[in-house]
């Protein structure tokens, strides 16, 4: 694998370092230089196999599995520049919690969780550059690029697996704050339970829509503060679908301010004059009981100063 060409079929046996990874993440690391879209394509076509059987990108690899990788030409590896000192310092000051298993940061808005699509360094690449001696650092979950707030990184593979296990059991509490266009009148809470489905528009843009054939999605909302033509709501995720809060609030008739994909353009322009220059969505609480240490981990990320100033102006 030292050159950039797989001239023939390769069979890779999964060791302890790779056990537990999803197939797509394993291939992205192994086939450096190959676009994510191409990796998904060769898996979908059945060219990548696990133990001689067809595979899905979501398959978790187990110790001793044999992965078939087809012949392919890898792109020349891009020159790797270290993340800027400013970026590293920004993340260092954003750390909310750390122990031997996990790291929680208050992710800045506008920063992707990982590189790709023209982005050289996301959160995970920057953290790895900051901690070259740390053998394992992986995202435990994701946030949209424009969403700020609590983001969990696992420092050990067993910690990552345990977090995913308790998340599947619904034992992770995630709360978000969002400012909406419009309010619900006298209502102070609402549970939205409508299925969501990912779709691709003709222009290639990916979008999530309410669809009876989609996956179940449940969000509980509580009104924290009402304003004349908007409200601040706290959203608790019961499920964790892509863009779930954003699409559910649009479905409720109160899209998030600053949402260029699902929001109201006219309202976004109005609130831009009041200082909302980004998506007003913030992951402000993350709580779960570590299955390894048996400790309760609870992190709160305060709203960024610019968002707090907007709320003060709305009250005034």
Structural domain containing residue 120: 85-157
User: Mean per-residue pLDDT for 19-36?
Assistant: 83
pLDDT, one tens digit per residue, over 268-292 is: 999 998 889 999 999 999 999 998 8
Distance CA 183, CA 25 (A): 41
51 and 21 in one domain? yes
Q: Is 186 among the domain residues? A: yes
- Give the pLDDT confidence score for residue 19 in this predicted structure: 81
Q: What is the CATH number of the domain that holds 133?
A: 3.30.2350.10
Closest by CA to 174, choosing from 158, 159, 190, 163, is 163
Q: Decide: 285 and 314 in contact? Cβ < 8 Å.
A: no
pLDDT, one tens digit per residue, over 212-265 is: 999 999 999 999 999 989 999 999 999 989 999 999 999 999 999 999 999 999
Q: Decide: 267 and 181 in contact? Cβ < 8 Å.
A: yes
Residue 109's φ and ψ, nearest 5 degrees, are: -65, 140
* Active-site entry in 144, 146, 181, 259: 144
Task: Give the pLDDT band of residue 82 (cuts 50, 70, 90).
Answer: confident
Distance CA 68, CA 11 (A): 5
Residue 46 has pLDDT above 90, yes or no: yes
**Active-site residue 144, yes or no?**
yes
Q: Which of 73, 104, 133 is the last residue of a domain?
A: 73
Distance CA 297, CA 168 (A): 17
Q: Which of 37, 53, 73 is the last residue of a domain?
A: 73
Q: Is 79 among the domain residues? A: no
Q: Is 138 among the domain residues? A: yes
Q: Which of 25, 50, 73 is the last residue of a domain?
A: 73
62 and 91 in one domain? no
Question: How many domains in the chain?
Answer: 3
Tokens 């005034």 locate to 316
pTM for this one?
A: 0.76
């Amino acid at each position: 694998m030292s050159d950039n060409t797989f001239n023939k079929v390769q069979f890779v046996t999964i060791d302890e370092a790779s056990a537990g990874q999803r197939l797509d993440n394993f291939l992205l690391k192994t086939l450096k230089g190959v676009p994510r879209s191409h990796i998904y394509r060769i898996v979908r076509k059945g060219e990548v196999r696990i133990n001689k059987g067809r595979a899905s990108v979501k398959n978790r690899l187990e110790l001793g599995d044999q992965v078939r990788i087809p012949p392919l030409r890898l792109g020349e590896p891009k020159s790797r520049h270290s993340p800027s000192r400013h970026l590293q310092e920004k993340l260092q000051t954003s750390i909310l919690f750390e122990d031997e298993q996990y790291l929680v940061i208050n992710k800045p808005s506008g920063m992707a969780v990982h590189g790709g699509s023209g982005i050289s360094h996301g959160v995970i690449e920057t953290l790895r550059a900051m901690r070259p001696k740390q053998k394992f650092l992986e995202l435990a979950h994701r946030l949209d690029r424009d969403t700020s707030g609590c983001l969990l990184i696992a420092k050990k593979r067993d910690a990552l697996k345990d977090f995913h296990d308790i998340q599947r059991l619904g034992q992770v509490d995630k709360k978000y704050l969002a400012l909406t266009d419009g309010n619900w009148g006298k209502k102070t809470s609402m549970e939205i339970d409508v299925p969501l489905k990912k779709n691709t528009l003709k222009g290639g843009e990916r979008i999530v829509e309410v669809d009876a054939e989609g996956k179940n999605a449940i969000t509980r909302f509580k009104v924290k503060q009402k304003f004349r033509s908007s409200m601040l709501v706290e959203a608790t995720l019961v499920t964790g679908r892509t863009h779930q809060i954003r699409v559910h609030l649009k479905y409720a008739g109160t899209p998030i301010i600053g949402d260029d994909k699902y929001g109201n353009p006219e309202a976004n322009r109005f609130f831009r004059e009041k200082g909302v220059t980004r998506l007003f969505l913030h992951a402000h609480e993350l709580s779960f009981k570590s299955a390894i240490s048996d400790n309760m981990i609870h992190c709160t990320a305060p709203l960024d100063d610019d968002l707090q100033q907007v709320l003060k102006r709305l009250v005034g």
